[in-house]
Each structure stands twice: as C-alpha cells, then as structure tokens.
C-alpha cells in the first residue's frame, strides 16, 4: 500500500466524466471535470494550496504566520484545510449570503469567521466590496498575510496544472472549455494553458444573468454561490473568452437538480450554470466536438440551498 504524506497530496488528479443523458441530440460531447473528488469537495483546494505555498516559498508567509481572506465559502473551506495542515491561524471574512454548510465547515477546520449580513441572502457588488474592505482592515490590524484572491496571481499556477490534466485525459481533444467566473482565475489560468497547447480552443465564460456585468449589463443580486462578484474583477481578461453566457439562478439550480437526478452527480449551482452554458455550446459546435466544463464542487455543501425540493411525481 502506498501512503501519502498529508491530505494535501490528494488535491488534483480528478476524473473527467461524460454526460450520458443531458447532452442535446446531435450536439457535442460534454465532459465534466469532477472536482468534488478533492479533499474538501471543491476545485478551490487547488488554488488555496498554490496561494499558500507560493507565499511560504518567498517568506511573505512565515512558519506559523496568520492568514486572512474574504470568501463566499469554498475558498475559505479550502484555505481552512491548507492552513490547518500547515499550522497557520486563519481569519475568514464571509457572509450569511453563502451556504451554512460552508461556514460550518470552515469553523470545524479551525478558521475564525467574521460574518457580514447580506441583503436577503443575495450576492451583490456592495457585499463583495464590504467583505474585501473588512479583510483589508483585519490584515492591517493584525499583520496577517492577506491572500486577496481577487488579485492573487499565484493561484494561476494551479489552473495550469488543471489544464494539463484535462489535456492528458482527453488525449489533446478539447474543442471548448466552459467555466463560470468568480475571481476569473480558473477561466484565465486554465484557458491560457489550453490555448498554449491548442490556440483554437474556444473559451466560454459563464456569469449570473441577474448580474451580467462581464456582458456589459448592470450589477444585480443573485444566488449562485462563488461566482458573479457584481463588478469586473481584476483578474478578468476581456480578450480571452470567445463568448460570455449569462445563466439565471433559477436555470442554474434547475440544472443542478437534473444533474443529480439524471446523471447521479450532485453539485452546486455554479456547476448547474456551467452545464447550462455547455449545453448551449454543444448545440452550436455539433457532434464532432468535445466540450469540457467543471463540476466545481459537491452538492453536499448546499443541502439547505436545495431544501424543500419537491419529490418526483408518482408514476
């Protein structure tokens, strides 16, 4: 039996699965990168480890030094895991707009939470900027290392690795990559690396229809965890994507439920948004194409979000 050193060694190397029932007739093949197989059940494990290890390597973060971050949840859980293993105290600024399961998970892993009240449980530009401002104050007061995920380019290295995994798993056959935009790092890092391997790869960005700022629309409120900050984020590259697909919260949630019931894949609403956009792209590209999109995390992080879902009607 081969043993690993720590749980952090289990980050990455996730499977790539084809959608069997949800693909449109005559449409492209859609492959889902199952990031729920990471230790905390989220793709954010990759970027959290990359940010912390880069800061340790150049001594921005000393041994035992404290870390602070603002987050909608998954990044916070992933940082909590990494910091617990590496011995860094962690202070998280978050909000009641995000799933209670994520907040509980962060606390269980040892993070200290500062929870900001939201507007009716919805994500807005003001909430994002309030969280950032609070993290800035805490970092200045305590001297903690601020990972500052909206601006941190150290995380891009994690997505270069992700792109290589996708390339190897598809034997170099990737016609399009579809990914929702939070910090924009996953679309940018993965997309840039895939384009370096094949300049013809189509890149499709996904954002909440209620706050389609990347498409030039006004900022608004939505309930898709982890994406749609409400403003054009610093890591966004407008020249990178070939298309931007707005997807509503309602459509994203409905697709997440279809994924669970028709494919046995229980994921969150950002994954639902990804699949909605990938299905649209599949119709455009036709049967000879292969599209890769992300199962960003496990639906176990959103049990209360999906609470009260009606059962299937009796036959």
270: annotated active-site residue: yes
- Spatial separation of the C-alpha atoms in residues 122 and 223, rounded to whole Å: 5
Which position among 42, 99, 118, 270 bears the catalytic label? 270
Which position among 33, 36, 42, 44 bears the catalytic label? 44
Vertex 302: Cα angle to 139 and 169 (nearest 5)? 90
List, in order, residues 6 or more apart from 261 with CB less than 8 Å away: 312
44: annotated active-site residue: yes
List, in order, residues 6 or more apart from 169 with CB less than 8 Å away: 15, 16, 31
Closest CA to 281 of 182, 171, 177, 199: 177
Q: Strands 29-34 and 16-18, how do they pair?
A: antiparallel
- Spatial separation of the C-alpha atoms in residues 161 and 294, rounded to whole Å: 14
Catalytic residue IDs: 44, 270
């Amino acid at each position: 039996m081969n043993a690993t050193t720590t749980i952090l060694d289990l980050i990455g190397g996730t499977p790539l699965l084809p959608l069997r029932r949800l693909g449109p007739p005559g449409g492209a093949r859609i492959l889902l990168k199952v990031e729920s197989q990471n230790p905390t059940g989220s793709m954010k494990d990759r970027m959290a480890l990359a940010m912390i290890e880069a800061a340790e390597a150049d001594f921005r973060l000393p041994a035992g030094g404290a870390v602070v971050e603002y987050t909608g949840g998954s990044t916070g859980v992933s940082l909590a895991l990494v910091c617990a293993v590496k011995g860094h105290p962690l202070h998280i600024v978050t909000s009641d707009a995000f799933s209670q399961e994520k907040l509980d998970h962060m606390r269980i892993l040892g993070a200290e939470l500062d929870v900001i009240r939201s507007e009716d449980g919805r994500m807005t530009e003001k909430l994002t900027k309030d969280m950032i401002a609070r993290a800035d104050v805490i970092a200045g007061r305590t001297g903690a290392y601020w990972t500052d995920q909206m601006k941190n380019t150290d995380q891009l290295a994690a997505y270069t690795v992700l792109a290589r995994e996708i390339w190897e798993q598809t034997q170099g056959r990737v016609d399009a990559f579809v990914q929702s935009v939070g910090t924009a790092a996953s679309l940018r890092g993965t997309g840039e690396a895939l384009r370096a391997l094949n300049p013809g790869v189509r890149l499709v960005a996904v954002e909440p229809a209620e706050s389609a700022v990347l498409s030039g629309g006004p900022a608004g409120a939505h309930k898709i965890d982890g994406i749609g900050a409400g403003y054009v984020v610093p890591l966004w590259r407008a020249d990178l994507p070939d298309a931007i697909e707005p997807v509503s919260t309602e459509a994203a949630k409905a697709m997440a439920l279809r994924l669970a019931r028709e494919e046995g894949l229980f994921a969150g609403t950002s994954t639902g948004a990804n699949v909605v956009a990938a299905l649209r792209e599949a119709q455009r590209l036709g049967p000879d194409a292969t599209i890769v999109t992300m199962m960003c995390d496990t639906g176990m992080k959103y049990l209360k979000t999906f609470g009260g879902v009606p059962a299937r009607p009796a036959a």
